[in-house]
Each structure stands twice: as C-alpha cells, then as structure tokens.
Amino acid sequence: MLAKRMMWVAWPAFLVAGLLEMLVFGLVDPQDLQWFGHPLAMSRQGVYTLAFFAFWILTMLSSGLTALLSVSPFEVNRCPVPTDERPIDCARQGDGRC
C-alpha cells in the first residue's frame, strides 16, 4: 500500500513539475536570472535541471500532505499485529486497534 501511495504522490507531482518548468521558462530566460544581485554561474541546462527538481520536490510535498490528510482514522489507529499474536494484556484485544 505504501508503494501505491508513493505513486499517488510522485507521479502527479512529476507531471505538474514538468508543466511548471514549461510555464516558467517559457517566460523567463535562465541567463537573465540573478541570485542576490549576481548572475547565476550555471548553464541553461543546469538551471532547468535544478528548477525541475525544486518544482518536483515542492509539488511532492503538497501531494504528500494531501495524501496524509486523506488517511482515515481507522487506518491510523488499526493495530498492525494480527489478533491471535497480540499480547494478553492488550487493552484493545478484540477490536483490531491494539
């Protein structure tokens, strides 16, 4: 299930990062960018690459937060230990939430 959720986060974030890359660099030339008043000492491809990964990380954080907030209380509170393997003193022996 974790791999499935990771794909729910990573794939849409990848697509949005690609879209943002096209939109931003369709309007801005990487050679015109400055960092604290100094021109960037990187090639265009370097700026494109770093910007893509920055966009991808930011959109993954956004998608990840959405995935985290969509988890039901049952999934958060369920006990990962099978019922027959739980300790005797488990307070929630029968309800699956030990």
Tens of pLDDT, residue by residue over 6-58, are 898 999 999 999 999 999 999 988 888 888 988 888 888 999 999 999 999 99
- The secondary element (H helix, E strand) that includes residue 14 is helix 2-27
Q: Looking at residues 60-73, what average pLDDT do you find?
A: 89
What distance in Å separates the CA atoms of residue 2 and residue 17, rounded to the nearest whole number?
22
Q: Is 70 exceeded by the pLDDT of residue 85?
A: yes
Enumerate the domain spans of the chain. 2-85
Amino acid in the structure at residue 95: D
The answer to whether 64 touches 38, Cβ cutoff 8 Å, is no
The answer to whether 30 touches 52, Cβ cutoff 8 Å, is no
Neighbours of 65 (CB within 10 A): 11
Task: Convert 49-94 into a string of H (helix), E (strand) and C (coil).
Answer: HHHHHHHHHHHHHHHHHHHHHCCCHHHHHCCCCCHHHCCCCCCCCC
